[in-house]
A and B are shown apart, each in its own frame.
Chain A
Amino acid sequence: MSLQGQATTAYKNYMNKVMENAPKVEEPMSGGLMNRSRPVEQENKTDYLLDQFTQLQKLRAGLKNG
């Protein structure tokens, strides 16, 4: 059982994923005061590890920028 070089490959994959993800654009939930349709929350499928990865990257960038 050995993980020779798996970390490098996995890290590069995650970096590619993070770079490919487009920033979220928030859309208005309701269509006016008289709109009767209920706002339905969009299903946000989030990857827990990818979220943690991006959060840590942001923290690191914050540290480097002072």
Chain B
Amino acid sequence: MANTLFDAPVAGQSLTAEVGARPWQQPAQYSTVEDAFEYYATKITDPKVNESLLDALEMGTPVSSISEILVQSGAMEGKHTIDVSILLLPVIMELIAYVADESGVDYNMGLTPTIDQDKISESKIALSVSKLKNKMPDNIIEETEPTMEPEVMSEENLEPSGLMSRRM
């Protein structure tokens, strides 16, 4: 979570380029959702173009992530505005799923979050450790520390104990 919090541009970074220099600062190429959807529909349904898309689906990339990347790159290229991209998202997801169904590719829509049962988060480990520390008083911890005392071996114990050994 901490990584995503700081995964953002530096304050004032948008002012380092001239206004209008970026594609998304220009008027959008497709101003309506109909036009923008036409643009994506022709791209996604084109068998020459969608090979890499189907490869990504086969590798397990969720449909939701692919469609997010698609519309985000469209907005960054100045094809349409970011509002249009959010409006287009569900329809593009459905279109990608349709193309995958048609070509017989198994895919993950990415609607249900996958929880790895074997993976224990670091916060849970830290919480359980702190609970354990609170439960254990200090004197118990001191008592449990092993004390190494040198054992005095008596001479009686030194007798050989093997089957073939001779008694002294």
CA distance A56 to B109 in the complex (A): 15
Counting chain B CB atoms within 10 Å of each CB, the highest count among A8, A14, A57 belongs to A8
Instruction: Assess whether B67 is in contact with A7, with CB atoms less than 8 Å apart.
Output: yes
Evaluate contact between A64 and B101: CB separation under 8 angstroms.
Answer: yes
Q: Chain B, interface size: which category?
A: 20 to 34
Residue in chain B with minimal CB distance to A59: B98
Q: Once the chains bind, are B102 and A6 in contact (CB under 8 Å)?
A: no
The answer on a CB contact under 8 Å between B102 and A11 is no
A10 CB–B CB distance under 8 Å: yes
The reply to whether B88 and A49 form a contact with Cβ atoms under 8 Å apart is yes
Q: Is A12 an interface residue (CB 8 A)?
A: yes
A21 in the interface, Cβ–Cβ < 8 Å? no
Of A3, A8, A48, the residue contacting B34 (CB under 8 A) is A48
Q: Is the CB of A48 within 8 A of B86?
A: no
List CB contacts (< 8 Å) of A34-63 with chain B: 48-49, 52-53, 56-57, 59-60, 63
B67 proximity list for chain A (CB < 8 A): 7
Residues of B within 8 A of A8 (CB): 64, 110-111
Contacting B82 at CB < 8 Å: which of A1, A10, A59?
A1
Question: In whole Å, how far is A65's beta carbon from the nearest beta carbon of chain B?
Answer: 11
Q: Is B71 a contact of A3 with CB atoms below 8 Å? A: yes
B58-93 vs A, CB cutoff 8 Å, 1 = contact: the mask equals: 000000110110011001100000100111111101
CB pairs A–B below 8 angstroms (30 shown): A1-B72, A1-B75, A1-B76, A3-B68, A3-B72, A3-B86, A6-B86, A7-B64, A7-B89, A7-B90, A7-B110, A8-B110, A10-B89, A10-B90, A11-B93, A11-B111, A14-B90, A14-B91, A48-B33, A49-B87, A49-B88, A49-B91, A52-B94, A56-B94, A56-B97, A56-B98, A59-B98, A60-B97, A60-B101, A64-B101
Chain B residues with a Cβ under 8 A of chain A: 4, 24, 33-34, 37, 64-65, 67-68, 71-72, 75-76, 82, 85-91, 93-95, 97-98, 101-102, 109-111
